Structure 1
Amino acid sequence: MNFRFQNLLGAPYRGGNAIIVNNTQIVSPVGNRITVTDLLKSQTVTLPVQASSNIRRVAASPDGVFLLAIDDNNRCLFINLPRRAVLHRITFKGPVHAAEFSPDGKFIAVGTGKLVQIWRSPGFRKEFFPFELIRTFADCNDNVTSIEWSPDSNYIIVGAKDLAARLFYVKKLKGVHFKPFLFLGHRDSVVGCFFGVDKKTNRIDRVYTITRDCYILSWGYNEGNKEGELSNPPSPCTPERDDEGLVSDGNARKRKDFAGKDGNLGVDGEYVSKGKWELLRKDGFNQAPAKLTACDYHRGVELMVVGFSNGVFGLYQMPDFVCIHLLSISKEKITTAGFNGLGNWLSFGCARLGQLLVWEWRSESYILKQQGHYFDVNCLAYSPDSQLLATGADDNKVKVWTLSSGFCFVTFSEHTNAVTALHFMANNNCLLSASLDGTVRAWDLFRYRNFRTFTTPSARQFVSLAADQSGEVICAGTLDSFEVFVWSMKTGRLLDILSGHEGPVHGLMFSPTNAILASSSWDKTVKLWDVFDGKGAVETFPHTHDVLTVVYRPDGKQLASSTLDGQIHFWDPIDGLLMYTIEGRRDIAGGRLMTDRRSAANSSSGKCFTTLCYSADGSYILAGGSSKYICLYDVADQVLLRRFQITHNLSLDGVLDFLNSKKMTEAGPMDLIDDDNSDTEEGVDKQTRGNMGYGLPGSMPNGGRPIVRTKCLRIAPTGRSFAAATTEGVLVYSTDDSFIFDPTDLDIDVTPETVDVAINEGQLKRALILSLRLNEDSYIKKCIFAVPPADIPGVASAIPFRYLQRLIEAFADLVESCPHLEFMLQWCQEMCKSHGHSIQQNSKTLLPALKSWQKAITRMHQDLAETCSSNEYTLRYLCSSITK
Structure 2
Amino acid sequence: MNFRFQNLLGAPYRGGNVVISENSLLLSPVGNRVAVTDLVKSETLTLPFEASSNIARIAASPDGNFLLAIDDAFRALFVNLRRRVVLHRISFKKPVGAVEFSPDGAYIAVGVGKLVQIWRCPGFRKEFFPFQLERTFPDCDAAVTALNWSPDSAYLLAGSKDLTVRLFSLRRSKGSNKPFLFLGHRDVVVGAFFCTEKKTDKVCRVYTVARDGAIFTWNLESNLVDAEGYVSDPPSPGTPEQAASGEYLEDKLGEGENNARKRKKLDISESESEVALHQGNWKLLKKDFFMQTPAKLTACDYHPGLDMMVVGFSNGVFGLYQMPDFVCIHLLSISREKITTAVFNKLGNWLTFGCAKLGQLLVWEWRSETYILKQQGHYFDVNCIAFSPDSQKLATGADDNKVKVWIASSGSCFITFSEHTNAVTSVHFVAGKDSLLSASLDGTVRAWDLIRYRNYRTFTTPSPRQFVSLTSDQSGEVICAGTLDSFEIFVWSMKTGRLLDILSGHEGPVHGLMFSPTNNILASSSWDKTVRLWDIYGKGAVETFTHSHDVLTVVYRPDGKQIACSTLDGQIHFWDPINGLLMGTIEGRRDIAGGRLMTDRRTAANSSSGKCFTTLCYSADGSYILAGGSSKYICMYDIAEQVLLRRFQVTHNRSLDGVLDFLNSKRMTDAGPLNLIDDDDSDIEEGIDRQTREKLGYDLPGSMPNRGRPIVRTKCLRIAPTGRCWGAATTEGVLIYSTDDSFMFDPTDLDLDVTPEAVDEALANGQQQRALLLSLRLNEDSLIKTCVISVNLSDISAIASSIPHKYLQRLLKALADLLENCPHLELILQWSQELCKAHGSFIQQNSHSLLTALRSLHKAVVRLHQDLADTCSSNEYLLQYLCSTST
TM (norm. structure 2) is: 0.92
1:45 and 2:41 aligned: no
Q: Secondary structure at the match of 2:799?
A: helix
Q: Residues 210-245 of structure 1: CA distance to partner in whole angstroms, max 9, x if unpaired? A: 111111111111125676459xxxxxxxxxxxxxxx
CA separation in 2, counterparts of 1:766 and 1:687? 73
Matches within 5 A, 1:378-417: 378-417=383-422
CA distance in 2, matches of 1:855, 1:271: 63
Cα pair 2:4 2:738 within 8 Å, conserved: yes
Residue identity in the other structure for 2:485 = D
Match of 2:252 in 1: none
Residue 625 (structure 1) aligns with:
629
* 1:802 shift after superposition: 2.5
Separation of aligned partners in 2, 1:877 and 1:693:
65
- What is the match of residue 567 of structure 1? 571
Q: How far, CA to CA, are the matches of 2:738 and 2:357 in structure 1?
A: 30
Structure 1 partner of 2:337? 332
Alignment partner, residue 609 of structure 1: 613
Which of 476, 485, 490 is matched with 1:480 structurally? 485
How many angstroms does 1:786 deviate by? Answer: 3.3
1:496 alignment counterpart = 501
How far did residue 799 of structure 1 move? 1.7
- Superposed CA offset, 1:750-772 (max 9, x none): 54455445545554434433433
User: Are the aligned partners of 1:154 and 1:268 in contact in 2 as well (CA < 8 Å)?
Assistant: no
CA distance in 1, matches of 2:284, 2:794: 80
Residue number in structure 2 paired with 1:100: 100
Change in CA separation of 1:256 and 1:306 when aligned onto 2, cut-off 3 Å: closer
Where do residues 524-603 of structure 1 align in structure 2 (5 Å cutoff)? 524-533=529-538, 535-603=539-607
Question: Is residue 432 of structure 1 aligned with residue 437 of structure 2?
Answer: yes
* Partner Cα separation in structure 2 for residue 842 and residue 111 of structure 1: 62
Of 123-132 and 477-486, deviating more is 123-132
1:182-234 alpha-carbon deviations (Å, 9 max, x no partner): 1111111101111111223322111111111111111111125676459xxxx
Displacement of 1:493 after TM fit?
0.4
The one of 724, 727, 752 equivalent to 1:723 is 727
Indicate whether 1:267 and 2:271 are aligned. Answer: no
Matched, 1:223 2:228: no
- 2:275 and 2:655 mapped to 1: Cα distance? 44
CA contact (8 A) 1:384 1:428 kept: no
1:683 and 1:421 map into 2 onto residues whose CA distance is: 27
**How many percent of aligned residue pairs carry the same amino acid?**
75
Q: How many residues align?
A: 844
| 2:358 alignment partner, one of 353, 359, 384 | 353
- SS in structure 2 opposite 1:307? strand
Q: Does 1:119 align with 2:119?
A: yes
Contact 1:430/1:445 (<8 A) preserved: yes
Offset, 1:872: 3.6
Q: For the Cα contact (< 8 Å) 1:383–1:428, is it kept in 2?
A: no
State whether residues 432 and 475 of structure 2, in contact with CA within 8 Å, keep that contact through their aligned partners in structure 1. Answer: no
Question: Secondary structure in 2 aligned to 1:723?
Answer: strand
Distance 1:282 1:678, change over 3 A: same
Asked whether the 8 Å contact 1:2–1:738 carries over to 2, the reply is no
Question: Is 1:185 matched with 2:184?
Answer: yes
Unaligned stretches of 5+ residues in structure 2: 226-230, 235-264, 699-704
Q: Is the 8 A contact 1:688 1:704 kept in 2?
A: no
> Deviation of residue 680 (structure 1)?
5.7
Q: Does the aligned pair in 1 maintain the 2:356–2:687 contact within 8 Å?
A: no
Contact 1:687 1:704 in 2 (8 A): no
Report deviation, 1:681. 5.1
CA displacement at 1:686 relative to structure 2: 8.0
Name whichever of 590-599 and 799-808 sits farther off.
Answer: 799-808
Find 1:362's aligned residue among 361, 367, 380.
367
Counterpart residue identity of residue 218, structure 1 = T
CA contact (8 A) 2:482 2:510 kept: yes
Q: How far off is 1:256 after superposition?
A: 8.0
Matching residue of 2:258? none
Instruction: Give distance in 1, aligned partners of 2:187 and 2:388.
Output: 53
Equivalence for 1:698:
none
In structure 1, what is the equivalent of residue 425 of structure 2?
420
Counterpart in 2 of 1:73?
A: 73
Q: Give the counterpart of 1:258 among 257, 263, 270.
A: 270
Partner residue, 1:176: 175
Q: Equivalents in 2 of 1:458, 1:223: separation in Å?
A: 81
Shift of 1:881: 4.3
Aligned match of 1:243: none
Asked whether the 8 Å contact 2:268–2:274 carries over to 1, the reply is no
Q: Secondary structure at the match of 1:722?
A: strand
Q: Deviations over 1:471-491 (max 9, x none)?
A: 111000000000000001111
Say which SS state the counterpart of residue 375 (structure 1) adopts.
coil
1:61 matched to 2:61? yes
Q: Any idea what the Cα deviations from partners look like across 1:270-301, whole Å, max 9, x if unmatched?
A: 551xx411111111111111111000011111
Residue aligned with 2:886, SS: helix
Q: CA deviation at 1:866?
A: 2.4
Matched with 2:800 is 796
Q: Please report how far the alpha carbon of residue 874 of structure 1 lies from its aligned counterpart in structure 2 after TM superposition.
A: 4.0
Are 1:8 and 2:8 counterparts? yes
Residue 90 of structure 2 corresponds to residue 90 of structure 1: yes
Q: Partner residue of 1:662?
A: 666
Choose which of 513, 517, 520 in structure 2 pairs with 1:508.
513
Native 8 Å contact 2:522 2:533 kept in 1: yes
How far 1:610 moved relative to its partner?
0.6
CA distance in 2, matches of 1:581, 1:785: 48
Compute the displacement of 1:647 (Å).
0.7
Report which stretch shifted further, 815-824 or 679-688: 679-688
CA-CA distance at 1:683 after TM superposition: 8.7
More divergent stretch after superposition (369-378 vs 73-82): 73-82
CA contact (8 A) 2:215 2:288 kept: yes
Is the 2:268–2:276 contact (alpha carbons within 8 Å) kept by the matching residues of 1? no
- State how far apart, in whole Å, the 1-side matches of 2:182 and 2:209 are: 11
- Judge which range, 68-77 or 193-202, deviates more: 193-202
TM-aligned CA deviation for residue 782 of structure 1 = 2.8
Contact 1:815–1:821 at 8 Å: present in 2 too? Answer: yes
**Which aligned pairs between 1:107-146 and structure 2 lie closer than 5 A?**
107-146=107-146
Cα contact 2:678–2:706 (8 A) shared by 1:
no
Deviation at 1:807, TM superposition (A): 1.4
- Once the two structures are TM-superposed, the CA of residue 788 in structure 1 deviates from its matched residue by 2.1
Per-residue deviation, 1:792: 0.8
Per-residue CA deviations over 1:788-836 (Å, capped at 9, x if unaligned) read 2211101111122232222111111111111111111111111121122
**Structure 1 residue 446, shift from structure 2 partner:** 0.4
Q: Contact 1:741–1:775 (CA<8 Å) still a contact in 2? A: yes
Distance in 2 between residues matched to 1:546 and 1:214, nearest whole Å:
58
**How much does 1:63 deviate?**
1.4
SS of the aligned residue for 2:832 comes to helix
Task: Tell me which residue corresponds to 1:250.
Answer: none
For 1:296 and 1:633, how far apart are their aligned partners in 2? 51
- The 1:255–1:640 alpha-carbon spacing in structure 2 relative to 1, beyond 3 Å, is farther
Change (3 A) 1:284 1:688: closer
Deviation track 1:9-64 (CA, whole Å, cap 9, x = no partner) reads: 10000000011111111110000000111111111111111111101011111112
What is the aligned-residue RMSD (CA, Å)? Answer: 2.2
Displacement after TM superposition at 1:403 (Å) = 1.2
Q: Cα–Cα, structure 1 residues 738 and 710, in superposed 2: closer, same or farther, change >3 Å?
A: farther
Partner of 1:742, secondary structure, is coil
Among 811, 816, 820, the residue aligned to 2:820: 816
Distance 2:707 2:207 in 1: 41
1:449-468 alignment, distance < 5 Å: 449-468=454-473
CA distance in 2, matches of 1:574, 1:425: 25
Return the alpha-carbon distance in structure 2 between the equivalents of residues 637 and 748 of structure 1: 36
- The equivalent of 2:451 in structure 1 is 446
* One-letter identity of the residue aligned with 2:357: R
